[in-house]
Amino acid sequence: MEGAPAIDFDAQLMLRVREGDESCFHTLLDRHRNSLIRFLYRMVQDSGTAEDLAQEVFLRIYRSRTNYEVTARFTTWMFRIATHIALNLLRDEKHVRRQTELGAEREVADLHPSTEQRLVHNVRVNEIRTAIRSLPAKQRAAVLMHKYEGMDYSQIAGVLECSESAVKSLLFRAYESLRAKLAHLVRGEI
Domains of the chain: 7-98 (1.10.1740.10), 113-190 (1.10.10.10)
Tell me what percent of the residues of the chain surpass a pLDDT of 70.
81
Q: What is the pLDDT at residue 180?
A: 87
Q: What is the pLDDT at residue 94?
A: 58
**Nearest-angstrom CA–CA distance, 11 and 33:** 16
Is residue 138 scored above 70 in pLDDT?
Answer: yes
Q: What is the pLDDT at residue 90?
A: 82
Closest of 47, 43, 53, 10 to residue 29, by C-alpha: 10
Across 36-50, 59-73, 81-95, least confident range:
81-95
- Residues 144, 39 contacting (CB under 8 angstroms): yes
Q: pLDDT per residue over 85-106, tens digit each?
A: 998 888 776 534 343 333 434 4
Q: What is the pLDDT at residue 188?
A: 59
**Nearest-angstrom CA–CA distance, 29 and 47:** 18
Q: What is the pLDDT at residue 59?
A: 92
Q: What is the pLDDT at residue 130?
A: 86
Q: What is the pLDDT at residue 110?
A: 45
Positive or negative, the CA dihedral 150, 37, 81, 65 is positive
Kindly state the average pLDDT of the residues 169-178: 91
The alpha-helical segments, DSSP class H, found in the chain are 9-18, 22-44, 47-63, 74-92, 115-133, 137-143, 153-160, 164-186
Q: What is the pLDDT at residue 88?
A: 84
Q: pLDDT per residue over 106-134, tens digit each?
A: 443 444 566 776 777 777 778 888 888 88
Q: How many residues does the chain have?
A: 190
